Structure 1
Amino acid sequence: MSVDAPEIKHVNTKTVACDGDEGPLGHPRVYLTMNEDGQVECPYCDRLFILDGEPVDDHH
């Protein structure tokens, strides 16, 4: 039996939201902020978010 590698998502904002993308089978929505390397991993599903290029202003 093999284990799937965590999903990688490329984004253009330093703050991301993750809810597992599985509706009621997902996890609580969490908001994550990139580290100085431009990456952050979801503590629930291990999805890795990678910042592509310069961040877009994500302040509202």
Structure 2
Amino acid sequence: MTEPFEVIIVETDRVACDGGGGALGHPKVYLNLSAEGHVECPYCSRLYKLREGAHPAHAH
């Protein structure tokens, strides 16, 4: 059985992810949330979700 994904609640539709592990992380990538309000990092599988009721400045 795999570990559950880490879910990070955000208030913008663009996020930067570096794996959070300092030297043990991964290259910093910039991700855009989907129209559904979420995106998964292709390196570490962190799931970024838009906070309910948030109104990002760069809405699609």
TM-score by length of 2: 0.85
Superposed CA offset, 1:10-60 (max 9, x none): 0000000000000010000000001010000000000000001223436xx
Is the contact between residue 6 and residue 45 of structure 1 (CA under 8 Å) also seen in structure 2? no
Listed as ranges, the matches of 1:6-25 within 5 Å are 6-25=5-24
Q: Count the aligned residue pairs.
A: 57
Task: Flag structure 1 segments of 5+ consecutive residues without an equivalent.
Answer: none
RMSD of equivalent CA atoms: 1.3
SS of the residue 2:23 aligns to: helix
Report what 1:45 is aligned to: 44
TM-score by length of 1: 0.85
Distance 1:28 1:5 in 2: 22
SS of the residue 1:24 aligns to: helix
Q: Residue type matched to 2:21 in 1? A: E
SS of the residue 2:30 aligns to: strand
Distance 1:50 1:41 in 2: 9
